[in-house]
């Protein structure tokens, strides 16, 4: 005799809920409230019927409600990780290997997806994004309704299974003060960076993958004076700008005919036509770096992030990426432009413990010699702590005009 399992009961309830959703014309993503009520009603009705019939019994009604909601209104077995506030990122190498990252460290989970289930989940995730993935477009970068960033690669770019990454938007800090509270940087460095942003200096945030660059950039953006008009340009919406006058733009994929693509470079160019007081680019990776440099060199304050292993390597990369824009762009133009356009580089890194910390703040005084941009350490890490170095930022007059006493901000603390 076969003993009924909780899973079989779950499958029955799941089927009944899906049928009622179809009959009532509900959309689990746009009508989550009614669907949640419907699931609870179906589970309650099923529990009563199972007492007087051969239906498999339900052990924990709340657990069944949660599992059914995950199936019909969420992302199945992955939903529990999306709901876990400690999980920063989820990635799937194959249906039986689902990983998550907590506090900067990865772990293999016990979650196993069924055959074809992963492809169905990806299709559901992309449904609200307006983006697609197929043989002609084997990569996709999209945003989930909760703000998480989705990246998918399909075979034959991958060997056997599609690779899925979901980077949750876990904004653990909204201001530089909150970063101080979490130990990411010191109070003195926070006051200096806050003054630098308010004074209109151009700031580059560098670091590795998952080092906290976007979170740091969001906290720097929060220091922009409220009177300014900010235009943001991103591949996928990740920035949260708490200001009244903000326009956010993201890139767009080409359509099935290969037309209609809007690259990041186009957004940067268009932003200049929108009367910005300040421009913020989520991340520069390619030739859009040239357009950003031109904007910054024209007197428009701005900020961006960049993948790099140190502040100095970030400046070198800023001198290299614009060369991708065309053969007529050379170092003789780019290097002095970087020296004149970038004012500060803030480098953040993840320590072995998983703690994210600002490792250095480097100033770009504006000079270049023999193709090398001159740099000066404003803050550096010694004995595991961010401390005042010997360098000074450029444009002391801007600090004074904004009402800041730069020598007092940088006075050595003992």
CATH number, domain of 165, equals 3.30.450.90
On whether both 273 and 313 belong to a single domain, the answer is yes
In terms of pLDDT, which residue wins out, 376 or 131?
Answer: 376
Across the range 241-257, mean pLDDT stands at 88
- Answer whether residue 258 shows pLDDT above 80: no
Q: How confident is the model at residue 32 (pLDDT cuts 50, 70, 90)?
A: confident
On whether both 162 and 293 belong to a single domain, the answer is no
What average pLDDT does the chain have? Answer: 89
279-310 residue pLDDT tens: 999 999 999 999 999 999 888 999 999 999 99
User: Given this model, what pLDDT does residue 230 score?
Assistant: 97
- Answer whether residue 390 shows pLDDT above 50: yes
158: Cβ contacts below 8 Å, ≥ 6 apart: none
Question: How far apart are alpha carbons 357 and 183 in whole angstroms?
Answer: 7
Query: How many domains, the chain?
Result: 3
Lowest mean pLDDT among 38-47, 223-232, 337-346: 38-47
User: Given this model, what pLDDT does residue 196 score?
Assistant: 97
User: Given this model, what pLDDT does residue 203 score?
Assistant: 97
User: Given this model, what pLDDT does residue 231 score?
Assistant: 97
DSSP per position, 196-220: HHHTT--EEEEE-TTSSHHHHHHHH
Q: How confident is the model at residue 268 (pLDDT cuts 50, 70, 90)?
A: very high
Percent of the chain, pLDDT > 90?
Answer: 57
- Answer whether residue 3 shows pLDDT above 50: no
Q: How confident is the model at residue 5 (pLDDT cuts 50, 70, 90)?
A: very low
On whether both 318 and 267 belong to a single domain, the answer is yes
In terms of pLDDT, which residue wins out, 146 or 111?
Answer: 111
On whether both 88 and 34 belong to a single domain, the answer is no
pTM: 0.80
- The tokens 């133009």 sit on which residue? 333
- Answer whether residue 2 shows pLDDT above 50: no
- Answer whether residue 414 shows pLDDT above 70: no
Q: Which of 155, 170, 185 is the last residue in one of the domains?
A: 170
Q: Which of 170, 200, 235 is the last residue in one of the domains?
A: 170
* 329 sits in which H/E element: none
- Answer whether residue 64 shows pLDDT above 90: no
Is 3 within the bounds of a domain?
A: no
Is 125 within the bounds of a domain?
A: yes
- Answer whether residue 6 shows pLDDT above 70: no
On whether both 237 and 355 belong to a single domain, the answer is yes
70-87 residue pLDDT tens: 888 888 899 999 989 889
316-345 residue pLDDT tens: 999 999 999 888 888 899 999 999 999 999
Is 198 within the bounds of a domain?
A: yes
Is 164 within the bounds of a domain?
A: yes
User: Given this model, what pLDDT does residue 264 score?
Assistant: 93
User: Given this model, what pLDDT does residue 4 score?
Assistant: 40
In terms of pLDDT, which residue wins out, 5 or 154?
Answer: 154
- Answer whether residue 1 shows pLDDT above 60: no
Q: How confident is the model at residue 237 (pLDDT cuts 50, 70, 90)?
A: confident
Cα dihedral: 178, 181, 182, 188 (round 10): 90
Question: Among candidates 227, 171, 174, which has minimal Cα distance to 198?
Answer: 227
Is 191 within the bounds of a domain?
A: yes
- Answer whether residue 228 shows pLDDT above 60: yes
Is 5 within the bounds of a domain?
A: no
Helix 288-297 with 264-271: angle, nearest 10 deg: 20
Question: How far apart are alpha carbons 374 and 345 in whole angstroms?
Answer: 12
Q: Which of 26, 51, 73 is the last residue in one of the domains?
A: 73
In terms of pLDDT, which residue wins out, 349 or 259?
Answer: 349
Contact between 231 and 281 under an 8 Å Cβ cutoff? The reply is: no
The length of the chain, given as a count of residues: 414
On whether both 248 and 342 belong to a single domain, the answer is yes
Across the range 395-404, mean pLDDT stands at 96
Say which CATH number the domain at 329 has: 3.40.50.300
Contact between 52 and 61 under an 8 Å Cβ cutoff? The reply is: no
Residue 358: strand pairing partners:
348
114-123 residue pLDDT tens: 878 899 999 9
Q: Which domain holds residue 401?
A: 176-410
On whether both 56 and 88 belong to a single domain, the answer is no
- Answer whether residue 89 shows pLDDT above 80: yes
On whether both 194 and 101 belong to a single domain, the answer is no
């Amino acid at each position: 005799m076969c003993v009924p399992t909780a899973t079989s009961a779950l499958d029955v309830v799941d089927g009944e809920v899906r049928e009622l959703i179809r009959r009532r014309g509900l959309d689990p993503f746009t009508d989550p409230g009614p669907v949640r009520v419907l699931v609870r009603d179906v589970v309650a009705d099923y529990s009563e019927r199972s007492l007087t019939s051969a239906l498999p019994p339900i052990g924990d009604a709340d657990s069944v409600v949660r599992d059914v909601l995950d199936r019909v209104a969420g992302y199945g077995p992955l939903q529990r990780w999306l709901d876990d506030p400690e999980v920063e990122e989820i990635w799937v190498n194959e249906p039986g290997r689902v990983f998550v990252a907590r506090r900067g460290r990865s772990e293999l989970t016990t979650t196993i997806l069924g055959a074809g289930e992963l492809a169905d989940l990806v299709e559901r995730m992309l449904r609200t994004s307006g983006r697609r993935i197929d043989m002609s477009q084997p990569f996709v970068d999209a945003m989930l309704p909760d703000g998480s960033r989705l990246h998918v690669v399909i075979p034959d770019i991958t060997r056997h299974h599609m690779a899925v990454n979901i980077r949750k938007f876990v904004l653990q800090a909204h201001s530089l003060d909150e970063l101080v509270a979490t130990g990411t940087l010191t109070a003195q460095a926070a006051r200096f960076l806050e003054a630098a942003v308010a004074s209109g200096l151009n700031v580059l945030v560098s670091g590795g993958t998952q080092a906290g660059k976007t979170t740091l950039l969001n906290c720097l953006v929060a220091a922009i004076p409220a009177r300014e008009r900010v235009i943001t340009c991103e591949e996928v919406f990740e920035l949260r700008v708490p200001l009244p006058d903000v326009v956010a733009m993201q890139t767009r994929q080409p359509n099935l005919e290969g037309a209609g693509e809007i690259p990041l470079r186009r957004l940067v160019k268009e932003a200049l036509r929108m009367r910005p007081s300040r421009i913020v680019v989520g991340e520069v990776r390619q030739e859009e770096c040239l357009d950003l440099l031109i904007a910054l060199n024209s007197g428009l304050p701005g900020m961006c992030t960049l993948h790099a292993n140190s502040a100095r390597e970030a400046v070198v990369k800023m001198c290299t990426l614009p060369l991708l824009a065309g053969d007529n762009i050379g170092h003789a133009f780019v290097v002095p432009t970087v020296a004149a356009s970038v004012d500060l580089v803030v480098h953040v890194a993840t320590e072995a413990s998983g703690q994210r910390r600002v490792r250095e703040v480097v100033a770009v005084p504006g000079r270049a010699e023999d193709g090398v941009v001159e740099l000066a350490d404003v803050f550096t890490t010694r004995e595991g702590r961010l401390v005042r170095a010997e360098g000074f930022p450029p444009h002391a007059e801007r600090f004074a005009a904004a009402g800041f006493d730069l020598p007092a901000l940088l006075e050595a603390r003992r």
